[in-house]
Amino acid sequence: MSSGAIMRRKTIGFLGRSFLFAVTSVAAVAVFAIILFIARDALPFFRDRTSLEFFVSKSWYPSHTPPQFGAAAIFFGSFLVTAAAVILAVPSGVMAAICLSDILPFKARQLVKPVIEILAAIPSVVYGFFALTVVAPFLQNAGEWLPGNIEIASGVNALNASVILAIMALPTIVSVSEDALQAAGRELREGSYALGATRSETLLKVVIPAAFSGIFSAVLLGIMRAMGETMVVWMASGNAAQIPKPWYNLLQPVRTLTATIAGDMGEADQMSGSAHYHVLFVMGLCLLLFSFGCNIAGEWVVARQRKKLRGE
């Protein structure tokens, strides 16, 4: 090979590597830029308002004079809706993944998995529309024939939002968990059978523990999906900035962080740099930090699990 050809090949290799590096950098830099800009617009809020009011007070009256920015009820709304969605979606999602990976025949799995994944492709505003026009009237009428004749005055409430969020988180949980269970491998399962374990013992004591870190990641992704979803909660949760009475009452409307940001953005005056504008960025920053926390926790669990599997 001539030296010219070698040079050319080296140059092309260098250019290729540079290009890939640049593309990767864009993603990394974008993350830092987002944090930086959100923090820059969030911090001025605490210049003339206390964090105590923001985190402890329940009075959210941003348009009143003087305005009140107590976000405790909104934080609780986000928590309640997310927690309920996780409680609904995680057990069913993980069980569905186990069923797909180890119980259903191969052909059925090939049919069912894409159908579940279609759920992830539906735009969230369509889910919101569904929540508003189908789930809400259904819930309102459901109260009458429930035991105890519970009065569900408004079908637009925390439960409605949670149910829809659970459906939206399902495909992520099912798909990622199923991949983790598959990755546990045939050898592991056959080894277990060879030792005389039954199918259920193999599943519960060998396959699921082996796939635990993957299932955990799936659950985290599902939580983040539910926490960050905006359009559906804006349409289905009722947006009342209150802590339900009693607090676990899912049949009352609540307001979430994401819906507050979406709903108030137009009103908050950017030019005059009002507290209302900055408080929305504080909420954005809190959501971002929460996602970061989830990610780091996920990494940590996965790393620990890997160590354990290697027998260290």
Partner 1 sequence: MKGSLLVAGLVACCAVAQAQDKLTLDGSTTVGPIAKAFAEFYMRQNPGVNITVSESGSGNGAKALLNGTCDIANLSRNLKDAERKAMEEKGVKPVEHTVAFDALPVIVHPSNRVKGLTLEQVRDIYTGKITNWKEVGGADQRIVVISRDTNSGTYETFKDLVLGKDNKILESAEYTGSNGGVRQRVQMTRGAIGYAGLGFVDRTVKALEINGVAPCAESVVQKRYPISRALFMFTNGEPAADTLAAKFIGLSKTARGKEIIEEIGFVPVP
66, 123, 246, 266: residue in contact with partner 1 (rule CB under 8 A): 266
Q: Indicate whether 253 belongs to the interface with partner 1 (CB under 8 A).
A: yes
Closest CB 259 distance from partner 1, rounded Å? 9
Among 36, 52, 64, 200, indicate the residue that binds partner 1 (CB under 8 A).
64
Distance in Å, CB of 242 to partner 1, minimum: 4
Of 84, 94, 96, 136, the residue at the interface with partner 1 (CB under 8 A) is 136
Using CB under 8 A as the binding rule, whether residue 264 contacts partner 1 is answered as yes
72 lies in the binding site for partner 1 (CB under 8 A)? no
Site for partner 1 in 31-60 (CB under 8 A): 58, 60
Nearer to partner 1, 154 or 295 (CB): 154
Instruction: Pick out residues in 155-174 that bind partner 1 (CB under 8 A).
Output: 155-156
From first CA to last CA, the distance across the chain in angstroms is 49
Among 168, 285, 300, 303, which Cα is nearest to 224's? 168
Q: Which amino acid is at 93?
A: G
Q: Which is nearer to partner 1, 57 or 92 (CB)?
A: 57
Size of the site for partner 1 (CB under 8 A): 32
What is the contact surface with partner 1 in residues (CB under 8 A)? 58, 60-65, 73, 132-133, 136-137, 140, 151, 153-156, 234-235, 238-242, 252-253, 255, 263-264, 266-267
